[in-house]
Structure 1
Amino acid sequence: MSRVFISDGAQAREISLDAFCARTEDAPFSWVHVDGWQEDARAVASRCDHMPEAALSALLAQETRPRCTLMGEGALINLRGLGVQDDPTGDALVSIRLWAEQARVISVSYRPLAAMEPVIARMLAGAIHDPGDLIAELSRHITEALDPEIADLGDSLDEIESGMGESSAAEARRQVSEIRATAISYRRFIAPQRQALERLSAADATWLQPDDRLHLQEAADRCARMAEELEAVRERSALAHEELTDLRAERLNRQALIISVVALVFLPLTFLTGLLGMNVDGIPYAHEPWAFLGVVAVCAIMAVAIGGWFFATHWLRR
């Protein structure tokens, strides 16, 4: 659903899109948020005299990456943030496209952004007075929501690494693979988002105040730190996956070694019992009453001797 907010500098209120398009004079500051699946974007764009056609096409594009492009009197900014929890479709990071110019911001998104409601609350509370305030506030809420999510990836990996010898190797490998895929997916957008925020903070735009530039640079710094953390998580995940694979191979090798030792222990016993089990004349003590117990005792002594030799030579040492 499209939403429109206008501010006179002291207070802000929400109006309908039709009322906004019917206004004959511009408000000191207006923010129009458009649902990309509806046909409202072009009607709203008609209110912006300085919006290039390229900017309108970028606002309506479904596949985007974070960027900041200065176009005439305005700027096109694409950002990515966490989506709402009950939206299972698509990537975890939702894109929002913004066209900012003097006294006006138009934003378009195809999926709900988790940071929108806090920003709208700040807007209605009268804390946002110009495009710089809005973009800085949106960037701050996006980075604050992403920070604990990325920290949780590192904590989850810490738990897997600390319990690597206790948990199931197959389950641990699956968890590590999920963490690595998530880290790669997040870093794909957070790294260019840092560059976009840095470029916007240094842009020569009259609607950006010094405090707006400071907040944008702070958000860019947090993005840089998160990108470094994601890179570390990605590398640690690769190392943990290799270690889990080596652990599994070591267990398989040990099991194969035990099977080989057991086979070597029973190999001479099998030869002895097979030799004495031939149905031919001349087998010694074949008719003696103690012959069976004697063969069993000889086999037991041979098995103990061979097993003792394996232990003495550390074949079964951990």
Structure 2
Amino acid sequence: MSSFAIIAGAQGGVELPLEAAIDRLDGAVLGWLHLHGISEETRALLGERLGLPDLVVGALTAVETRPRCDGIGDGALINLRARAPDRATDADALVSIRVWTQRGRIVSVARYDIDGLDRMRAAMLAGRVRDPGDFVAMLADAITDDLDPRVAALGDMLDDCELMLDARRAFALRRDIARVRAEAIEYRRFVAPQRQALERLAALDCAWLENDDRLHLRESADRFARMTEELESIRERAALTSEQITDLRAELLDTRSLWISIVALIFLPLTFLTGLLGMNVEGIPYAREPWAFWGVVGVCAALAAGTFAWFMRSRWLR
């Protein structure tokens, strides 16, 4: 998604080129400028054309960010994280959108496309966003609406893995569980501080934040708190399931090793007997008797059956 600008009016919003929108910002009820990327042109536009403080420009164009909210003068700097439609190879699980808000003005910067931005664009054009408080509250709702089903899907995937828990399928299950656990850890890294950022924004003393905006922000913060708890549960359950798979694999290997040992013990006396009778020396008893071969076979079968019965009676095999 490229950069765009929307100026809101009484009958809704209208999308304008960036330069034209900047010229109309001062006289508009509400204007939203969204800048894609953090190039030198973006920094120059924020600092020179919009006149934002250096601290705000640096925060909006920082390479590494985390969810945060800081009140600066009559405005607020908000960094949030949302899912990307197509995850870039160098991006985190949740990519950042940085927002500067003050009365009548919203400036957002994002390095990647994010889910929910089209929804905000449509709401702005339809005139449903009346002030910066509405914008941030709706953006938080859009992010939670998109992220909540994904967190629930991670829990369902882990439920399926727990139902299929079997030592013979351990290798495939361990890969699935590791993927779920890694994704849960990535999400939790940003979901937990995002809750704190929204709670801090709801508590800011800003004239453009109305009571209903604060209620919506607290509701979104509560949803992020619930997602944080769910992600914690998924991470701990995934670790426990991995330990169970390791135990099952160890038990399976122990069982197979025991069977191999028992088979070896059964054949040990048989190997001794056949080796003794197979020596190429004179004087082996019954060497020329016609029934000698089948007699040796019978003795070997009796020894094997007796050894196996002893193992069964001793409860080595269960």
1:63–1:252 Cα change, 3 Å: same
Using the TM superposition, name which of 305-314 and 262-271 deviates more.
Answer: 305-314
Aligned partner (choices 35, 41, 44) of residue 42 of structure 1: 44
Match of 2:272 in 1: 271
Equivalent residues of 1:37, 1:110 under 8 A apart: yes
1:160–1:24 Cα change, 3 Å: closer
* Residues 195, 221 of structure 2: 8 Å contact kept: yes
Q: Are the structure 2 counterparts of residues 27 and 44 from structure 1 closer, same or farther at C-alpha, using a change threshold of 3 Å?
A: farther
Is the Cα–Cα contact under 8 Å of residues 67 and 195 in structure 1 kept in the other structure? yes
Structure 1 equivalent of residue 85 of structure 2:
84
**Identical counterparts, % of pairs:** 51
Report the Cα distance in structure 1 between the residues aligned to 2:217 and 2:25, rounded to whole angstroms: 33
Secondary structure of the equivalent of 1:91? coil
Stretches of structure 2 lacking an aligned partner (at least 5 in a row): none
SS at match of 1:279: coil
Show the counterpart of 2:289: 288
Q: Summarize the Cα distance change of 1:141–1:248 in structure 2 as closer, same or farther, 3 Å threshold.
A: same
Provide the rounded CA distance (Å) in 2 between the counterparts of 1:225 and 1:46. Answer: 42
Q: After superposition, what is the alpha-carbon deviation per residue over 1:182-217, rounded to whole angstroms, capped at 9, x for unaligned? A: 000000000000000000011101110111001000
**In 2: Cα distance, 1:11 partner to 1:47 partner:** 25
**What SS class does the counterpart of residue 289 from structure 2 fall into?**
coil
Are residues 1:3 and 2:4 paired? Answer: yes
Match of 1:300 in 2: 301
TM-score of the pair, normalised by structure 2 = 0.95
Report deviation, 1:167: 6.0
Query: What amino acid sits opposite 2:134 in the alignment?
Result: D
Q: Secondary structure at the match of 1:40?
A: helix
Aligned pairs for 1:140-159 (under 5 A) are 140-159=141-160
Unaligned runs of 5+ in 1: none
How far is 1:261 from its partner? Answer: 0.5
After TM superposition, the score normalised by the length of structure 1 is: 0.95
SS in 1 for 2:199: helix
**Partner of 2:201 in structure 1?**
200
CA distance in 1, matches of 2:25, 2:80: 31
Cα RMSD (Å): 1.5
